[in-house]
């Protein structure tokens, strides 16, 4: 995931959020889980960027949207979260980013309802 690609993802998400009157935070990580781009819209929650990054990392590591991770048994998720070195956030709003069928990174969105975060993350990722 290159910087310009990450910026384009976030720009799509911001445009969609603005059209809905939402104030959100966005985080894009590359295929190695490294932060590439992070934005917090004016007026968005101060904790939003941290949550967005955690959602992106969850989507990346599970290779699926966090809305699907949320369906995994709670005890399994608890055990996994104790074993890994990132915060597992099984809440909708994180989506893997695929390029030519290959996992290139992930985007996390935070600040609205789970359904809105998920819809905007999918839109931003081009899914």
CATH code, residues 3-125: 3.30.450.150
Q: What is the pLDDT of residue 114?
A: 95
Q: What is the pTM of this model?
A: 0.94
Tens digits of per-residue pLDDT, 32-58?
A: 999 999 999 999 999 999 999 999 999
Tens digits of per-residue pLDDT, 96-118?
A: 999 999 999 999 999 999 999 99
Which residue pairs from 10-19 have beta carbons closer than 8 angstroms and sit at least 24 positions apart in sequence?
10/37, 10/39, 10/107, 10/124, 12/123, 12/124, 12/126, 13/107, 13/109, 13/120, 13/121, 13/123, 13/124, 14/39, 14/41, 16/119, 16/120, 16/123, 16/124, 17/41, 17/112, 17/120
Q: State CA 57 to chain mean position distance.
A: 7
């Amino acid at each position: 995931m290159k910087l310009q690609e990450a910026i384009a993802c976030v720009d799509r998400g911001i445009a969609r959020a603005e059209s809905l009157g939402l104030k959100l935070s966005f985080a894009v990580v590359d295929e190695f889980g490294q932060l590439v781009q992070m934005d917090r819209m004016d007026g968005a929650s101060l904790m939003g960027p941290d949550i967005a990054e955690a959602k992106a990392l969850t989507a990346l590591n599970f290779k699926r949207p966090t809305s699907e991770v949320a369906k995994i048994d709670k005890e399994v998720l608890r055990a996994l979260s104790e074993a890994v070195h990132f915060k597992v956030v099984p809440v909708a709003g994180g989506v893997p980013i695929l390029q030519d069928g290959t996992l290139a990174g992930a985007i996390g969105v935070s600040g609205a309802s789970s359904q809105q975060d998920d819809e905007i993350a999918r839109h931003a990722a081009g899914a």
